[in-house]
Every structure is written in structure tokens, then in C-alpha cells.
Structure 1
Amino acid sequence: MTLSNQRPLRILQVVGGMNRGGIETWLINVLRHIDRDRFQIDFLVHTTQPCAYDNEIRALGSRIIPCLHSNQPWLYARNFKQILRDYGPYDVVHAQLYLFSGLVLYLAHQEKVCTRIAHMHPLTDLHEKRFLRAIYQKIMTRLLSKYATHIIAPSKSSLKAFQAICNCSGKHNEILYNGIELSQFDREVDKRAVRQKFNLPVDQPIVIYVARFTAHKNHAQILRIADRMSKNGVNVYFVMVGSHGELLNTLKEKVAERNDMAMMVGVEDISELLKTADLFFLPSLEEGFGVVAIEAAAAGLPVVATDLPTIREACSPSHHPFMFPPNNDELACKNILSILENQELRKQLSADARKWANNFSIFSSIKQLAHLYENCTQ
């Protein structure tokens, strides 16, 4: 397909909603920095509720287009096709919805969109393994196998995991690491002033975690780790930062009862919070890549994380010895304390982390994405 030089490529990103999260933050950074004279990006979402990035998306000249009834395929199909007719034509439909992307790309094929990209973020299906879910997975992977023209993933491990459940042969398969805006983490901050601003202790080591408040992010382990340290008389303060999730209110109640922990919701810029902490703890039980580990590294934080293959890809090799099996509280505690109690080790890991983060610039990510878009529409 040859496009006129008189207009930009038109891309429809399909995502649940543009609240703060790994995928969504990567997408807004792409929109901020991509050449918008060459690429016009709109966002199809599954909600009419305002989301954190909506206003900025509109200010940057893109549209937020609600497509409702994702739990009723026949209504969703009608709405989706009508959106493509009303707002299109689109050169690319880029779906960020894991298995549901199968239906999205089937509908895009019916509306004659030539380039249909499935961006497979999770390592595994997060839904409970039940009979109907197995049928759903089978249907959606068949649709993806037939109607996706490109399969991309944010890590080698997540791509390999998806290839194990879906026949991706004959398609363009590519790894596209989530890039971050490194300049946010270059500035110096007054740690004491930042801690006072957020009502955090100025004289205690701070261990921080940034994630949605949802089950697989495993905030429960932070609570257990804090209990263990408190019983042993270890003076460490924990901070959990996020924007949304089904466990938000439950965690709020639990944290409110403690004096060794804080919970922050809706922080617009996490860079200064990261830069005022001493260590990043990542207890997640499922990640497609673990871009928060890259953000923590850019802030110069040592990272102690669950030893998942996807998170291992996101962490500097010097940090691998400090990873731990899922939910291994004893080893997680030991690794956290071994870093906090050794200033020279902490400095070395901090330097390694900053150097490692330079491999994941948003500009490298955008360059690869732009090349993909332009090549697949020629």
C-alpha cells in the first residue's frame, strides 16, 4: 500500500483507558515525542469515564473515542465498525488488549484496515483458568493467528510465551521494549524537601513500589515484609504509589493502620519520589516487561525484584543476584537489608542502574515504532 506524502499515517491505538499504567504511560510518551506531522494517533477506549491522560491527548491533537459494550461482542462489533467508518480511514489498528485484540483485529480486517498489530504485553493470561476462559482463549488466539498482520511484545519472554499459545508463523514478530523519558530522572532533587512535601520521614530508609493496585502486582508481600522487619526491630519505611485498581480501598484501609508505610494515589510525576527513595521493591507476580524497574534504575535506585524472566530482562545484570522467587519473603527481606546496610554496594548498584536505564530511551522506542509503522504500510 502506498500512501500520499500529503497526509500523515493514521493509527488507531485500542486500549482499555488512558489512566496511568505501564502501557498507557508508554503510549502518552510516544504521543508526546513522535513526529505528529507524520503520524496521527487516535485512541479507542472502552470507557466514558475521564482518564488521567485524556486532556493531554486532546491537547496534542489526538482523539479519545469511546467504544462501549466490550462484554457484549455483537454490540461492540457494531460500535467498533461504526467508529472506523466515522473517524477513519485508518492505516493501522494497533491493539493493546491481549487476547481481546483477536476480536478487534478481526473487525479491523472486515473494515479493510491493511495493517493490524497485536501488542502482547502480559506474560500469561491473568484470568482464572476456567472452562469458558479456555474456550475464549482458543477463539481469540485463532482470530489473532488469522487476522493480525504483526505480533509485537515488550520482552523476549512475553513474545515467546505468546508464541506458545498462538500460531504466529508467517507474521512479522518483533520485540519492542518500552522506552522511558530519561530526562525526567536527570535532575537533582532536594531529598529532604521532597520527603517533607509528601509527609515522609526524613531520617529513615525508604523502600518504594509503583504499580496499579491490583492482585498480581502483589502489594500483599510488602505488607508481610514490613511486618517481618518491624518484628525484628528494623527501621525501614515503605511507600506504595499507584493510580487505580480493584484493591485501592482495601490497601488504603490496611496502610492507614500502620506507622511504617504510606500510600499515594494519583501522583502525576513519580520521578522526584523515586529519586528521594533508597531502594525499589518489585514483588509483582506477572509482568510483560517491568518498565517500572527501568524508571527506578533511571532514578538511580537499586532494585530488588521477583525473579520472573520478563523482569530479569528489565533489570541490570548486577541486580540479578538480588532477585527472589515469587513470594519468598525471607530472601526478599535479606536482599533488601543487604543493600540498605551496605553503602558501597548501594552506590555501585545505583551507578549500574543509571547506566542500564540508558538502553531504554523513549526516543529509541519511537524510532523503532515509527520504522514499523512506515514499513508495514508501504
Structure 2
Amino acid sequence: MNKIKIMHVTHDLNIGGLQRVVVDLAKNIDRNKFEVSVCALREGGPFEKELTDQGIEVIRMPPMNDRPDYFRFWKLYKIMIEKKTAVVHTHNIEPFTDGVPAALLARVPVRVHTDHARVFPDKKRYMFAEWILSHFTSQLVAVSEHTKANLVQYEKINSKKIKVVLNGIAGEKYRVQIDKEQKKAALGIGPGRAPILGVSARLTRQKGISYLLQAVKLLSKDYPDTLLLIAGEGELWDQLNAEAKELRIERNVLFLGPRLDVPEILQLQDVFVLPSLFEGLPLVLLEAMAASLPIVATDVGGNRQAVRDGLNGFIVPSKDSVALCSAIKRLIENSATRESFSRNSLELFQKEFALERMVKTYEEIYLNCLVSTN
């Protein structure tokens, strides 16, 4: 039987939640039925090697320089023709506006699009483009009910056209057994530091880290040995380091930079905190749940689908340092609640956010859409 040829189209393969979904989907799909390639429109990135090591072809578009974008559209069209692509799966707006028109011209029978984290309302030209292209897409996917609601409200897309597929991750690697004291020593964390909070995020405005730093400042008044571990890098690295210094909490914050040992770092934490200003369904919450951590997260995007307020964490308003501090204190000061939330996080993850469930759902989408076209 000939394999069904799928091409994922994404912006890049840098470290991020969207890219992780693309990589996991490409790596774990049934290779007996599907042949997968991944096209990065702008650049490759650290995830490229992970794909090529698994025998998955990565296609990188040449640098655009001063050429207009239709050259990229034309290049995509030619690649789809050459590879006899049966399914094009685009991720977020730029791959959508390039990938779906190219797929139409190349007569690719199935065109799937997933909408990940975005700010709504988006720029008018993007919303209009997505509305137009939705009519030529076999299946639109939203990563959370919140994202689906935004597509319906702001882009006037028919809700029947949108299917919610919750993100999933491979949870086993986040339940590692480590020597915590040895790991702390390796990171330069002295004895007696508690509570230990954590966040894994790109250091961008979206992630709201400034509000978490202010919450740590408040918390340190009652808990002077508080330590916040920040795993990630980004454009606000210098600014956030300067803010920590200005708040006089340098000893309470450890900027770890990009890490390959996030599962081990999660094991050191008492509470995971995500202070984002907007989200889709962030994978870092799923990682924290897989690591059996209680969570404090802001009330944005699909956070409520992962963090059930009062069950496995607390949901607080965004841009509110006082609320963040208060929720963290509630967990620190009540060990029974903390332990209950910890158990519930893992149970909820195993029930709803396993990688196998996500992959199987997408496989069904591809196959059902192919049947419909025939």
C-alpha cells in the first residue's frame, strides 16, 4: 500500500510549544500509513536535527532577502507537486496564508490548519485572510475551546468547521527520579532554599515574567529564601535581569537560560507558575502536570483546560502580581492542598493530554478528510 504523504508547514524549528507539537506529531505518526516531511518557511532550528535523526525530511525555504513573498509561495507549490503531497498541514497564520494557496494550486486533496497561540483580535488582514482560506481548508483545528471561540467570534468562521484537538506530550520523561540535592548543587542552589518556584518560557512580553518577578518580591517579604527558577531565553533576557536587580531580588531569582534538562529541573520545584498574557494551550503546563506539580496560571487562552481551578492549581487574573503572590502563598502554606493538587495534575494529564491521544486524533482527521475528497 502506498503511504500517504503529509507535509507540515511551520514558521521555523526553533524551541517553542508549536514547534514541539509539529515535531512530536511527525515523529509519532504511524509510519506504516504515512510519510512525513516538515517545511520551515523562515529557518530551521534546534528541532531540525531531532527530525532528521528520525529519518524525517526537513525542507528549509531559501532566505527571502528583498524578494516578495510570492517566491516562497511558488517554491512551496513546486515542492508539493514534486513530492505528490496528499495532505498539507499548516501551523499558525503565515504558514496558512502561504501553504493553503500553494496546496490549492498544486491540487493537494487535503488541507488541514491548526491555530495555536495568537492574540485576538489579530491584525485585520490576517483575520480576513484566515476567513477566506477557511473556505478552502478541509479541516480547521483549534488547540483549545478558547481558541475555537476566538476564531468564531473574531474571524466569523463557522464553528462546525473547527475541531478542538488538545495538545499532548510524552509524559514519561517528566517523571524522572533524581538526586535532588545533587541537582541543586549542580545549579548552584544552596541548602535551605524554599519554596522553589519555577517557570519554563521564552522570555518575551507574552509570558508576563515581569509580573512574576514582582510577585516574588512580595513573597520574599514573608519567605526570604524563596527561589524562582526561570528556564528559557528570549528578547527580554537583559531587561528581566535588570528588573530583578532593581527589585533587589537577585538572590531570589535564578535565570537558567535554555535547558535540555527541564524534566529534572521540574523535580526541584514546589509550585509551577505561568503568568502569561495570552496563550493557546501551552505545553509547559502539560509538562508541569506530567511532573505532578501544583500550578498557578493566569486566566488566558486554554490555560483553564489544563489547570482546573481548585483541582490541580489556581487560576488568577493576568497582569496581577498580588493575585499571583496570594495563590502561591496558599499552596506554600497548605501542604494538604499542595499534595492533592500534585496528584490531580498527574491524573488529569494521563486522562486528557497524552501524546498518543493527540497523534491518533490527527491521524483520524487526515484519513477522514481523504475519504471525504474521494
Matched with 1:260 is: 252
> Do 1:102 and 1:148's aligned partners in 2 also have CA atoms closer than 8 Å?
no
Using the TM superposition, give the Cα deviation of residue 345 of structure 1 relative to its aligned residue in structure 2, in angstroms: 1.6
Unaligned segments of structure 1, at least 5 residues:
128-132
Q: Kindly tell me: are residues 79 and 32 of structure 1, through their superposed partners in 2, closer, same or farther at Cα, counting changes over 3 Å?
A: closer
Q: Kindly tell me: are residues 9 and 284 of structure 1, through their superposed partners in 2, closer, same or farther at Cα, counting changes over 3 Å?
A: same
Q: Distance in 1 between matches of 2:39 and 2:191?
A: 44
1:219 counterpart = 2:213: no
Matched with 1:62 is: 56
- Secondary structure of 1:113 counterpart: coil
> Which of 173, 181, 185 does residue 192 from structure 1 map onto?
181
Q: Kindly tell me: are residues 187 and 230 of structure 1, through their superposed partners in 2, closer, same or farther at Cα, counting changes over 3 Å?
A: closer
1:364 counterpart = 2:353: no
Using the TM superposition, give the Cα deviation of residue 79 of structure 1 relative to its aligned residue in structure 2, in angstroms: 2.4
Summarize deviations over 1:254-304 as a string: whole Å, max 9, x none.
Answer: 557811111122212311111111100110011111232121111111101
- Secondary structure of 2:119 counterpart: coil
**Deviation larger for 195-204 or 64-73:** 64-73
Q: Distance in 1 between matches of 2:88 and 2:34?
A: 13
Using the TM superposition, give the Cα deviation of residue 253 of structure 1 relative to its aligned residue in structure 2, in angstroms: 5.0
Matched with 2:296 is: 304
> Which of 43, 67, 74 does residue 78 from structure 1 map onto?
74
- Give the alignment of 1:14-25 within 5 angstroms: 14-25=9-20
**Deviation larger for 54-63 or 198-207:** 198-207
- Secondary structure of 2:141 counterpart: strand
Q: Distance in 1 between matches of 2:319 and 2:261?
A: 29
Using the TM superposition, give the Cα deviation of residue 85 of structure 1 relative to its aligned residue in structure 2, in angstroms: 3.2
> Which of 320, 332, 345 does residue 328 from structure 1 map onto?
320
- Give the alignment of 1:1-378 within 5 angstroms: 5=1, 7-48=2-43, 50-67=44-61, 68-69=63-64, 72-86=68-82, 88-98=83-93, 101-125=96-120, 133-134=123-124, 136-169=125-158, 172-204=161-193, 205-232=195-222, 234-242=224-232, 244-252=233-241, 254=243, 258-308=250-300, 310-319=302-311, 322-358=314-350, 359-378=352-371
Q: Kindly tell me: are residues 193 and 16 of structure 1, through their superposed partners in 2, closer, same or farther at Cα, counting changes over 3 Å?
A: same
Letter in 1 for 2:354: S
> Do 2:3 and 2:32's aligned partners in 1 also have CA atoms closer than 8 Å?
yes
Using the TM superposition, give the Cα deviation of residue 120 of structure 1 relative to its aligned residue in structure 2, in angstroms: 0.7
- TM-score normalised by length of structure 1: 0.89
Unaligned segments of structure 2, at least 5 residues:
none
> Do 2:204 and 2:235's aligned partners in 1 also have CA atoms closer than 8 Å?
yes
> Do 1:151 and 1:171's aligned partners in 2 also have CA atoms closer than 8 Å?
no
> Do 2:311 and 2:341's aligned partners in 1 also have CA atoms closer than 8 Å?
yes
Q: Distance in 2 between matches of 1:370 and 1:283?
A: 33
- Secondary structure of 1:77 counterpart: helix
Q: Distance in 2 between matches of 1:166 and 1:178?
A: 22
Using the TM superposition, give the Cα deviation of residue 173 of structure 1 relative to its aligned residue in structure 2, in angstroms: 2.2
Summarize deviations over 1:122-161 as a string: whole Å, max 9, x none.
Answer: 253486xxxxx32x22441243223212100111111111
Letter in 2 for 1:40: E
Q: Kindly tell me: are residues 292 and 369 of structure 1, through their superposed partners in 2, closer, same or farther at Cα, counting changes over 3 Å?
A: same
* RMSD, matched Cα: 2.4
Matched with 1:130 is: none
**Aligned residues: percent identity?**
23
Letter in 1 for 2:103: A
